[in-house]
Structure 1
Amino acid sequence: MTHLHMLKSYVYHGLTAGPKLVVLGAVHGNEVCGPMAIERVMRELDSGELVLQRGQITFIPVTNPLAHAKNERNGERNLNRNLRPNALPHDFEDRIANMLCPILEQQDVLLDLHSTTNPPGEPFIMLGPENNEGDLSPFSRAHEEEALAVRLGPKRIVEGWLETYADGVKHRLANPNISANARAQMLSTDPSYGVGTTEYTRAHGGIALTLECGQHSDPQAPEVAYQAIRNTIAHLHLADVTPPPVQTEFELLKLTQVIDRNDPADAFVKTWASFDHLNAGEVIGHRADGSVVTAPSAGYILFPNPAANPGNEWFYFAQASERLIDGMIASR
Structure 2
Amino acid sequence: MQFPALPEIPHPLQFKSVTFTALKPGPKLIVLGAVHGNEVSGSKAILKVIGEFERGELLLSTGQVTLVPITNPLAYNRRQRNGDRNLNRNLTPTNTPVDFEDHVANWLCPLLAQHDVLLDIHSFQKGEVPFALFGPENNRGTLQPFVHARAERELARCLGVTRFVDGWLETYAKGVENRVAYLKANQLPDAGLNTDPRYGMGTTECMRSSGGYAVTLECGQHEAPTGPAVAYDAIDRTLRHLGLVEGAPVELVQQWQRLTLVEVIDKQDDRDEFCRAWSSFDEIRKGELIGIRHGGQEVRAPRDGFIVFPNSTSKAGQEWFYVAIDQSALGCA
Aligned to 1:164: 171
Equivalent of 2:306, from 300, 309, 317? 300
- CA shift at 1:143, angstroms? 0.3
- CA shift at 1:32, angstroms? 0.8
In the alignment, the residues of structure 2 paired with residue 135 and residue 34 of structure 1 have an alpha-carbon distance, to the nearest angstrom, of 32
- CA shift at 1:179, angstroms? 5.9
Equivalent of 2:227, from 200, 221, 226? 221
In the alignment, the residues of structure 1 paired with residue 321 and residue 251 of structure 2 have an alpha-carbon distance, to the nearest angstrom, of 33
Aligned to 2:206: 200
In the alignment, the residues of structure 2 paired with residue 125 and residue 178 of structure 1 have an alpha-carbon distance, to the nearest angstrom, of 39
Aligned to 2:4: none
In the alignment, the residues of structure 1 paired with residue 324 and residue 156 of structure 2 have an alpha-carbon distance, to the nearest angstrom, of 19
Equivalent of 1:36, from 31, 44, 69? 44
Equivalent of 1:108, from 113, 116, 134? 116
In the alignment, the residues of structure 2 paired with residue 78 and residue 323 of structure 1 have an alpha-carbon distance, to the nearest angstrom, of 32
Alpha carbons 1:305, 1:313 under 8 Å: kept: yes
Equivalent of 2:143, from 124, 136, 149? 136
In the alignment, the residues of structure 1 paired with residue 162 and residue 200 of structure 2 have an alpha-carbon distance, to the nearest angstrom, of 25
In the alignment, the residues of structure 2 paired with residue 306 and residue 104 of structure 1 have an alpha-carbon distance, to the nearest angstrom, of 31
- The yes-or-no answer on 1:263 pairing with 2:269 is yes
Aligned to 2:5: none
Alpha carbons 2:176, 2:197 under 8 Å: kept: yes
Alpha carbons 1:178, 1:311 under 8 Å: kept: no
Aligned to 2:6: none
In the alignment, the residues of structure 1 paired with residue 268 and residue 57 of structure 2 have an alpha-carbon distance, to the nearest angstrom, of 53
- For 2:147, the aligned partner's letter is S
- For 1:78, the aligned partner's letter is N
1:27-69 CA distance string (max 9 Å, x none): 0001111110001111111111111000000111100000000
1:222-248 CA distance string (max 9 Å, x none): 000000000000000001111222211
* Identical counterparts, % of pairs: 50
Alpha carbons 1:253, 1:318 under 8 Å: kept: yes
Equivalent of 1:324, from 318, 322, 331? 331
- For 2:267, the aligned partner's letter is R
Equivalent of 2:134, from 115, 127, 132? 127
Deviates more, 1:3-12 or 1:73-82: 3-12
- For 2:313, the aligned partner's letter is A
In the alignment, the residues of structure 2 paired with residue 40 and residue 73 of structure 1 have an alpha-carbon distance, to the nearest angstrom, of 23
Alpha carbons 1:178, 1:310 under 8 Å: kept: no
Alpha carbons 1:18, 1:54 under 8 Å: kept: yes
Identify unmatched segments of 5+ residues in structure 1. 327-332
TM-score by length of 1: 0.94
In the alignment, the residues of structure 2 paired with residue 180 and residue 36 of structure 1 have an alpha-carbon distance, to the nearest angstrom, of 42
- CA shift at 1:180, angstroms? 4.7
- Within a 5 Å distance, the mapping from 1:57-136 to structure 2 comes to 57-118=65-126, 120-136=127-143
In the alignment, the residues of structure 2 paired with residue 308 and residue 9 of structure 1 have an alpha-carbon distance, to the nearest angstrom, of 30
Alpha carbons 2:259, 2:326 under 8 Å: kept: yes
RMSD, aligned CA? 1.4
Alpha carbons 2:258, 2:331 under 8 Å: kept: no
Equivalent of 1:154, from 157, 161, 167? 161
Alpha carbons 2:262, 2:324 under 8 Å: kept: yes
Alpha carbons 1:22, 1:109 under 8 Å: kept: yes
- CA shift at 1:132, angstroms? 1.0
Equivalent pairs, count:
322
- For 2:56, the aligned partner's letter is G
In the alignment, the residues of structure 2 paired with residue 29 and residue 228 of structure 1 have an alpha-carbon distance, to the nearest angstrom, of 20
- For 2:144, the aligned partner's letter is S
Secondary structure in 2 aligned to 1:247?
Answer: coil
Cα 1:237–1:292, aligned 2, differ >3 Å: closer, same or farther?
same
Alpha carbons 1:20, 1:108 under 8 Å: kept: yes
- For 1:266, the aligned partner's letter is D
Cα 1:68–1:300, aligned 2, differ >3 Å: closer, same or farther?
same
- For 1:212, the aligned partner's letter is E
- For 1:130, the aligned partner's letter is E
In the alignment, the residues of structure 2 paired with residue 115 and residue 314 of structure 1 have an alpha-carbon distance, to the nearest angstrom, of 17
In the alignment, the residues of structure 2 paired with residue 32 and residue 213 of structure 1 have an alpha-carbon distance, to the nearest angstrom, of 10
